[in-house]
Structure 1
Amino acid sequence: MQQEATQMVTLTKARYEQGVLRPLQHIPLAEGQEVQIVLYLPEQVSPRLQAWLDFLRDTEPLSDEQLRQLEQAARRRPLFGTESSTP
């Protein structure tokens, strides 16, 4: 039986120790599963962005439809994508 792929967006803090990033919270991943990560140092993040990141970390996982809508909205922003901002 083929497992259904699930989408997950998770924000967590990690500590770099001996060449390995160690999450400070449990992350529900299968052993050996590969992920993509974005790194930033907390002192490099503006308070406004940090508030947004904290909000995302504390919310429930998004549904596939919510992720699709978020991705579409992000693509309309100059920082994230190249889509035209006109509907």
Structure 2
Amino acid sequence: MKQILDAIYENGVFRPLKNIDISEGQSVRLIVETTSSLSPEDLLNLAAQVYEGLSDEDIQEIEELARDRRNFFGE
């Protein structure tokens, strides 16, 4: 059975944030994906830095390239 759960790593142990449907002593496989500790405002500020120092024309060209999905797949 596959479950996705959030956990905190403390003192060398993963502690689930909610109760989970697993028997005591059950062997499991963990795939650890860390989440960002940045606030949404911090993430927006980082994203805005991408355009620092660029002209309006440069920004427009970048946005047009990003919207043109043909280049993503080699077409």
Under a length normalisation based on structure 1, what TM-score does the superposition of the two structures give?
A: 0.39
More contact order relative to length (CA 8 Å, sep ≥ 6) = 1
Greater helix content: 2
Under a length normalisation based on structure 2, what TM-score does the superposition of the two structures give?
A: 0.45
Higher gyration radius (CA): 2
